[in-house]
Structure 1
Amino acid sequence: MAQTEQRARPRVRAGFLVVVVVAIGLLFGVPWLTLVLPWPPVVVVIGAVVFVGAAIAFPFLMFLGHGRGRDWAARVGDTLLGVVWVLFAWSVLGLVARLVLPGRAVAVAVLVVAVVLIAWGVHEAMRVPRVRRVDVVLPRLGPDLDGTTVVVLADTHFGPINRVRWSEGTAAAVNALRPDIVCHAGDIADGSVAQRREQAAPLGTIEAGLARVYVTGNHEYFGEAQVWLDHMASLGWEALHNRHVVVSRGSSRLVLAGIDDATAKASGLEGHGAQLDAALAGAPEDAPVLLVAHQPRQVVQAAAGGVDLQVSGHTHGGQIWPFHYLVRVDQPTVQGLTRHGQTQLYTSRGAGFWGPPMRIFAPSEITLITLRATPNG
């Protein structure tokens, strides 16, 4: 058995390498075909040099940036990824348009659209998220908690681009809502606490009337998940590491439960892994349950466990069109309020971004959920 596995590993690595090479070839090759090929030979040659050079540099930049923690490389590589993804998506449409339109006209149109979308996407990514308001009816909610407000903050992704001012503005926007409960649904940062401490510091200024709770996202498990849990606790947040807290007003109670990210167990970090039974152990059975879980697909566990409402992030709403089609393959929903049996799921588009500093047709959000005991409030 061991010998079979050893023989299989080189084939797996080779297959993965082929997939990576083909993907990079398409990402950079299709824009070259659409934007450069219709022009005179000298432009074609210069364009080929530029696109081939960028394609060769790209994996090295990503490795240095995300594999070796070099922020300068991550900034360049992530930006290049965003630019080439936009060019690729619109170049594919351009190749279709070339069936009926002149190649040079299509090339100019695709380039103009891409430049406008990239500029707009950077602006959308860097601004403080807008507030998205949603009412959610929980039939088991007691009358004294009717109207309770829950802010969902997810996917802040503090990273290679220093966003201290953005973080301060986001915290101020949350505080302006005067929420009863604030939930951070994971993916605080890309990097260690030591690297991102300054960017994350404004999270400690966020206020809530009843509770501030946090769960891990998949990006925490790329590095220091437990350290981030401890750091958030030091900032005054309840770290819901497969546990719950109960909040109350008058005679009404609400269970706030949290589970680790779906990738936690595979990370090999001792004591980590999504455990809904542990999170709900000892919770009052007559109180509704609001579960914070990073990935929407964890709603399968939530529905089986009788959870009333799950709030999640992870998807970024797709972040850059048309990536949401790929996200939908892995997740039951990309954004918004959906129902899964008796369990409702709210998926936030997230506050920040991962990788490319762009958001195109997937605006960031701070979610303000108002819990209602009845449809009429």
Structure 2
Amino acid sequence: MKRFGAILLVILVYSAIVFYFGWSVHAWLETFIPVNKWFFGVVWGLIGYAILIARIDHRLRLFNIIGSYWMIIMQYGIILFPIGTIVTWIFPSQLRWIGWMILAVFLFILMIGTYNAFTPVVRDLSIKMTKKDAKLDKLKVVVASDFHLGLLSNKAHLKRFVKKANEEHPDLILLVGDLVDDDPIWFVKNGMSEVMKQLDSTYGVYGVLGNHEYYGKKIPLLVEEMEASNVHMLLDETILLADSLYLTGREDLTNKKRKQLSGLAPEKRNLPWFVMDHTPSNLLIPEKEGVDFHVSGHTHRGQMWPNHIFTRKIFELDYGYKQKGSLHAIVSSGFGFWGPPIRLGSQSELWVVNIKLEDVKA
């Protein structure tokens, strides 16, 4: 009963916000031309609830796209619309110009955010770790996460990743979860597998599941598609690579039955141990277990300012690189995006990590 009450409250609050935004936009449009309020109300309602309508059937792709852009209005409208209302109370005759200024801010946000989302950058990092019994002296690793491949983070965006990754001539490519946006259907329908197959590295391409693969509830199909794309999925599994390192891929934290990290540890600790875990929930555990290199994503670095304030509070490391003893940890903001195809305060990225393996005496 409490859950039902909470859901009802959320719906009422959300509906009130949608109505308030619509009322404000209608009042502004009326300064130019008469607008039928009933027709406008229906159209505005479809826009405001598009993200929910899209979940009825994947064929309602237009509503999925509209809903994604609507999230930008929700994120920044909470700030901009009340400011506009207050200024209009003070200067009621200036409603038309106040509306234009708010629209200009939205367009600026959209322009900068779109650039940041679709213009990925390469983050370079050089680290050193103990060689132990590894046969290799160095290793170049490409790390990327949170592609959310689907309608907006699309085939063209995946091509950008493949191009940038292959230009680095990596020894190893690690894809750290949320590879598709819930349902892999658009990955399949749009032939993204053929693009993913073009990734080239010396010792292979490996991936893990993220929370959104679980939301989509089509994990077997996703794993099948990734394996066909030459992305080897590690689901609570540890493998040996090039007689030089152990690589572990963890199930996402969403899976309450996933194995403990200690249960995935290699029997022999004579080689560096790399771990992929989509959600950077607790770095104390990999540090304690003796992990050498730990990579995650999930946080998007908040994706849209000022959401990074919350991710910083939730995670010990919500973005970037951190060394804890012998543990080297990276959290990427992601190559794609969830929902709105914009980034503010973050940028689509991949990491290129040059690892130098040194003898203990070095």
Distance of 1:122 and 1:173 partners within structure 2: 19
Partner of 2:107 in structure 1?
115
- Measure the CA separation in 2 of the matches of 1:23 and 1:241: 38
| Aligned amino acid, residue 183 of structure 1 | L
Please, what is the CA RMSD of the aligned residues? 3.5
Aligned position for 2:319: 335
Please give the per-residue CA displacement for 1:230-253, whole angstroms capped at 9, x wherever unaligned: 32222222221111122236xxx2
For residues 355 and 37 of structure 1, the distance between their equivalents in structure 2, rounded to whole angstroms, comes to 26
Q: 1:148 aligns to what SS in structure 2? A: strand
What secondary structure, in the 3-state scheme, does the structure 2 residue paired with 1:178 have?
coil
Secondary structure of the corresponding residue to residue 188 of structure 1: coil
Q: In the alignment, is the contact (CA less than 8 A) between 1:37 and 1:44 conserved in 2?
A: no
**What is the number of residues matched between the two proteins?**
353
Q: Is the 8 A contact 2:300 2:346 kept in 1?
A: yes
Q: Distance in 1 between matches of 2:68 and 2:52?
A: 11
Residue 122 (structure 2) pairs with residue 137 (structure 1): no
The percent of aligned pairs where both chains have the same amino acid is 22
State the partner residue of 2:147.
Answer: 156
Letter in 1 for 2:227: A
Deviation at 1:46, TM superposition (A): 6.2
Gaps of 5+ in 1: 1-9, 266-271
Q: 5 Å matches for 1:1-377?
A: 10-23=1-14, 25-26=16-17, 29=20, 56-58=45-47, 60-69=49-58, 70-91=60-81, 108-127=100-119, 129-139=120-130, 145-161=136-152, 163-197=154-188, 198-222=191-215, 223-248=217-242, 253-265=244-256, 273-282=258-267, 284-340=268-324, 342-373=326-357
Aligned in 2, Cα 1:51/1:83: closer, same or farther, shift over 3 Å?
Answer: farther
Residue 323 (structure 1) shift: 1.9
Q: Show CA shifts across 1:160-216 (max 9, x none).
A: 237222222321221111000100101111254443221243112111112321100
1:259 positional shift: 0.3
Q: Secondary structure at the match of 2:248?
A: strand
Structure 1 contact 316–349 (Cα < 8 Å) conserved:
yes
Distance 2:71 2:307 in 1: 13
23 and 63 in structure 1: CA distance in 2 versus 1, 3 angstrom threshold: closer
Please state whether the residue corresponding to 1:138 is helix, strand or coil: strand
Pair 315,159 (structure 1): closer, same or farther in 2 beyond 3 Å: same
* Cα distance between partner residues in 2 of 1:357 and 1:106: 26
Is the Cα–Cα contact under 8 Å of residues 177 and 210 in structure 2 kept in the other structure? yes
Kept in 1: contact 2:51–2:63 (CA 8 A): yes
Q: Indicate how the Cα distance of structure 1 residues 192 and 28 shifts in structure 2: closer, same or farther if over 3 A, else same.
A: same
CA distance in 1, matches of 2:307, 2:72: 11
What CA distance in whole angstroms lies between the structure 1 residues aligned with 2:273 and 2:31? 65
- Could you tell me how far 1:364 is from its partner in structure 2? 0.3
Q: What SS is found at the alignment partner of 1:367?
A: strand
Which TM-score applies when normalising by structure 2?
0.83
Q: 1:131 to 1:60 in 2, by over 3 A?
A: same
More displaced stretch, 137-146 vs 230-239: 137-146
| Alpha-carbon spacing, 1:154–1:96, altered in 2? closer, same or farther (3 Å) | farther
Q: What CA distance in whole angstroms lies between the structure 2 residues aligned with 1:162 and 1:348?
A: 17
Whole-angstrom CA distance in 2 between matches of 1:261 and 1:312 = 10
Cα distance in structure 2, aligned partners of 1:50 and 1:327: 40
